[in-house]
């Protein structure tokens, strides 16, 4: 069965392509290479023994999207990762984010809803919850006012899909709300490739350890948490990738309970920034140069998932640990700097 993966050379996209190919799917990747590298194709081939079909395509160009779908009418499903994802950049350039993250989703759905099989997996985020009133966070937690245009594009994206599902019973969609994806493939053939200064904790840790960054700033040591630092639910990217395959199969096999479903993807356990640093130091044997500094605007105190819906209804749960993720992230960092 043929599956389209947009943004398939990105961090989560590339790991999902690997898991899809391991399960026997034929994968077509669309990516505009604005935040990814063609080298990732080679990494996917090294791991799976098969090179996916790749087309460089900018989803903002509507005619190119139409032409692509004319050529690939036999898709069993679409997994949609392609989006800009830097919170700070979205604050500074909201229109770029709305055009790229919302406009392209509309173009995709317009074409998908003309196909025979209309199965759609959407890459959403736990940012839709903001600072949740109750922990762990369930799928029924209220969606809070977004902290950034990026977060808003995920909320609006979900609304667009839900509204389309209401009027089109043939469209089957699942929105997967990720918590904090980290780590790399155990082969160190693919991993996270941030352009410029990393916005996320783990690549900043590994770049500091390898000497690329002088020091890691830990934003805030006075939060109302056991060690004073923020708590997040860090999920290994390979576990996350496998959830997309499970979700897609759920739609293909008509096992979904309704034509629009939402699942949290996390471990169900919160880890503080200092716990992540300690895990890294343990698996790498290196002391990390870090300093606790003032809080950062927009950071929530704690966020971790209630995962029973994903475990029981979707039939998926995480298998890899925080130490596994830090170990794989460190091996990947050493490989790309080697």
CA torsion, ordered 275, 276, 278, 284, to nearest 10 deg: 160
Question: Is 80:122 a contact under the CB 8 Å cutoff?
Answer: yes
Q: Say if 196 falls within a structural domain.
A: no
Q: Say if 86 falls within a structural domain.
A: yes
The pair of three-digit structure tokens given for residue 93, joined into one six-digit string? 């350039």
Whole-Å CA distances, 334 to 149, 184, 188: 34, 12, 9
Question: Is 55:68 a contact under the CB 8 Å cutoff?
Answer: yes
Using 50 as the pLDDT threshold, list the residues of the chain that sit under it: none
Q: Do 297 and 277 fall into the same domain?
A: yes
With vertex at residue 25, the alpha carbon angle to CA 23 and CA 27, rounded to the nearest 5 degrees, is: 130
Q: Say if 192 falls within a structural domain.
A: no
Whole-Å CA distances, 312 to 94, 127, 264: 38, 23, 12
Please provide the DSSP assignment of 149-177 as one string: HHHHHHHHHHHHHHHHHHH-TT-EEEEEE
Q: Do 252 and 138 fall into the same domain?
A: yes
The pair of three-digit structure tokens given for residue 149, joined into one six-digit string? 């245009």
Q: Which of 258, 235, 102 is nearest to 168 (CA)?
A: 258
Question: Is 150:87 a contact under the CB 8 Å cutoff?
Answer: yes
Q: Do 228 and 118 fall into the same domain?
A: no
Predicted confidence at residue 94, as pLDDT, reads 97
Q: Say if 134 falls within a structural domain.
A: yes
Predicted confidence at residue 299, as pLDDT, reads 86
Q: Do 155 and 6 fall into the same domain?
A: yes
Q: Do 166 and 295 fall into the same domain?
A: no
Whether the predicted model's global pTM rises above the 0.95 cut: yes
Alpha-carbon distance of 154 to 123, in angstroms, equals 8
The CB density around residue 283, as the number of other CB atoms within 10 Å, is 18
Total number of domains in the chain:
2
Q: Say if 194 falls within a structural domain.
A: no
Q: Which of 93, 90, 112, 95 is nearest to 30 (CA)?
A: 112
Question: Is 10:31 a contact under the CB 8 Å cutoff?
Answer: yes
Peptide bond into 13 cis (omega under 30): no
Question: Is 111:63 a contact under the CB 8 Å cutoff?
Answer: no
Greatest C-alpha distance within the chain:
56
Predicted confidence at residue 195, as pLDDT, reads 84
Q: Do 31 and 148 fall into the same domain?
A: yes
Q: Do 242 and 285 fall into the same domain?
A: no
Q: Do 82 and 222 fall into the same domain?
A: no
User: Which residues, in sequence order, are bridge partners of residue 120?
Assistant: 78, 173
Q: Which of 311, 294, 252, 325 is nearest to 1 (CA)?
A: 252
Q: Say if 189 falls within a structural domain.
A: no
Q: Say if 146 falls within a structural domain.
A: yes
223 is catalytic: no
Alpha-carbon distance of 268 to 186, in angstroms, equals 22
The separation between the first and the last C-alpha atoms of the chain, rounded to the nearest angstrom, is 38
Q: Do 99 and 142 fall into the same domain?
A: yes
Question: Is 79:244 a contact under the CB 8 Å cutoff?
Answer: yes
Q: Do 173 and 272 fall into the same domain?
A: no
Secondary structure (3-state) at 222: coil
Q: Which of 170, 157, 121, 126 is nearest to 17 (CA)?
A: 121
Q: Which of 33, 38, 35, 27 is nearest to 3 (CA)?
A: 27
- Looking up residue 153, the CATH number of its domain turns out to be 3.40.50.720
Q: Do 19 and 142 fall into the same domain?
A: yes
Q: Do 80 and 214 fall into the same domain?
A: no
Q: Which of 210, 243, 265 is the last residue of a domain?
A: 265
Domain that holds residue 253: 2-182+235-265
Q: Say if 118 falls within a structural domain.
A: yes
| Catalytic annotation, pick one of 97, 129, 150, 223 | 150
């Amino acid at each position: 069965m043929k599956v389209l993966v947009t943004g398939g050379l990105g961090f989560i996209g590339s790991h999902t392509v690997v898991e899809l190919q391991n399960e026997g799917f034929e994968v077509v990747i669309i990516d505009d290479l604005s935040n990814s590298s063609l080298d990732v194709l080679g990494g996917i081939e090294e791991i799976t023994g098969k090179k996916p079909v790749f087309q460089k395509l900018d989803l903002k160009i509507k005619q190119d999207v139409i032409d692509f779908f004319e050529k690939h009418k036999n898709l069993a499903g679409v997994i949609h990762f392609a989006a800009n994802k830097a919170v700070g950049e979205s604050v500074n350039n909201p229109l770029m984010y709305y055009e790229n993250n919302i406009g392209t989703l509309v173009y995709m759905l317009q074409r998908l809803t003309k196909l025979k099989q209309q199965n759609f997996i959407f890459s959403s985020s736990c940012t839709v919850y903001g600072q949740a009133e109750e922990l762990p966070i369930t799928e029924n937690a209220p969606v809070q006012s977004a902290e950034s245009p990026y977060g808003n594009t995920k909320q609006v994206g979900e609304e667009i899909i839900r509204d389309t599902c209401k009027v089109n019973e043939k469209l089957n969609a699942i929105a997967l709300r990720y918590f904090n994806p980290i780590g790399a493939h155990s082969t160190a053939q693919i991993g996270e490739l941030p352009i410029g200064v990393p916005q996320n904790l783990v690549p900043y840790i590994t770049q500091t350890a390898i000497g690329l960054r002088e020091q890691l700033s830990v934003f805030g040591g006075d939060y109302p948490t056991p060690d004073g630092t923020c708590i997040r639910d860090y999920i290994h990217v390979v576990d996350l990738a496998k959830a997309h395959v499970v979700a897609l199969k759920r739609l293909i096999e008509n096992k979904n309970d309704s034509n629009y479903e939402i699942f949290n993807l996390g471990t169900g356990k919160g880890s503080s920034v200092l716990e992540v640093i300690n895990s890294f130091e343990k698996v790498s044997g290196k002391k990390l140069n870090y300093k606790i500094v003032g809080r950062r605007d927009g950071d929530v105190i704690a966020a971790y998932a209630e995962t029973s819906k994903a475990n029981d209804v979707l039939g998926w749960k995480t298998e890899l640990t925080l130490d596994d993720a830090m170990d794989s992230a460190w091996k990947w960092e050493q490989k790309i700097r080697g």
